Amino acid sequence: MFKSLVLKASSTRKVFNVAHFNQQRGMHSRNKMAMEYIAKGWNALKEVDRVIDYCEPRDKRLIPHLKTAKDNFEMALEVDNTNTHARYWLSRLHLKYHVPGQCKAIGAALLVEAADMGDADAQYELGRNLRIENEGVDTDQQAFYYLEKAADQLHPGALYLLGAVYLTGDCVKKDIDSALWCFHKASEKGHAGAAIACGSLLVRGYELPPSITKFSLKKEVTGRKLRKKSGEPKPNPIQLAREQFENAAKLGNDLGFRWLKRLDEEEKRVLAA
C-alpha cells in the first residue's frame, strides 16, 4: 500500500523552486511564525504519543490533540510553503495517526515532497518504509537513494540502515569500510544499535577506515600514507570496540552490557593463561 502511494506521489509531485521562495522570505527555518506553529503542533502530537499506548488508536479523547496538531502544521505551511518540517510532520499525521480528515495518499505526497526538498527526517522515513514494505515492487535503489541523502546530513537512523545495507551487500556492493563508517558516525550521534554493530565488527578484526570518510578512497589512501610516515601505532581494535560498547551501555542498551562482560571475561582468561 505505502509503496504504491509513494510511487504515485513521485510521478505527480510538484517541483518547488526553493531559491525563489528564499529570495522573497529567507530560509524557511528562520521563519519565526511558521516555527511557532510547528512547535504548537509538535507539543500536541507529543501529548498524543504520551498516552496512545494506553488507549485505542481511535480513542475520541485523542481527537482534540490530533486536530490541534493538524491545524498548526497546516497553518505553518500557509505561512511558509517551503517549510519541510511542517510537511514532514503533517505527513506523519496522515500516515501514522487516525487524525480527522486522514488521507494516506496526501501523507505519502507530503513525505515525498519533504524528502525531495531536503528534509533529513523525511528522507529517512521514506527510505525506511520503501525498504520494509514488500508489495512485489522493487524500490531498493529508490530507498537507498533517500537513505544516502539523509546519511549525508548525518541522520543517525539513516546512517545505521545504510551501514546495514553495505554490510550485507543488499542492492549495493558489499563494503565493510563504508559500513563501519556509517555505524561509527551513527554511534557518535547516539545510536545504540550502530555502536553495537561497529563494536562487533571491530572485535571480529575489522579496522576503522584510517580517515572516517564514506566514499573518498583518495582520502583513505592519503591517511594510510600519513600514518606510516609518522610511525604512529595502530589503535587497539579491542579498545575501540570497548568504547563502542560503553557508548551503547550508557544509552541503556542491554547488548552493550553483555559485550562488556564478555570482553572482561576474555581478558581475565588471557591473563590467567
CATH classification at residue 165: 1.25.40
DSSP H or E run through 215? none
Whether the CB-CB separation of 222 and 211 falls below 8 Å is answered with yes
Decide if 77 is inside a domain.
yes
14 & 101 share domain: yes
Structure confidence at residue 51 (pLDDT)? 93
241 & 128 share domain: no
173 & 252 share domain: yes
27 & 68 share domain: yes
User: Based on the structure, what is the number of domains in the chain?
Assistant: 2
Decide if 180 is inside a domain.
yes
Q: Rounded CA gap, 45 and 97, in Å? A: 10
Structure confidence at residue 233 (pLDDT)? 59
- Is pLDDT at 115 greater than 60 in this prediction? yes
Domain that holds residue 93: 1-138
Structure confidence at residue 271 (pLDDT)? 83
Decide if 147 is inside a domain.
no
167 CB contacts (<8 Å, ≥6 apart)? Answer: 174, 176, 179, 197, 201
- CB neighbours of residue 148 within 10 Å: 18
Decide if 143 is inside a domain.
no
1 & 70 share domain: yes
173 & 264 share domain: yes
The whole-chain average pLDDT of the chain stands at 84
66 & 159 share domain: no
pTM: 0.81
Decide if 149 is inside a domain.
no
Compute the radius of gyration of the chain from its Cα atoms: 22
Q: Degrees (nearest 5) of the Cα angle 45, 50, 55?
A: 105
Mean of the pLDDT values across residues 94-112? 94
Task: Give the cell for residue 273.
Answer: 593463561
Mean of the pLDDT values across residues 97-124? 95
Binned at pLDDT 50, 70 and 90, residue 237 comes out as: confident
126 & 244 share domain: no
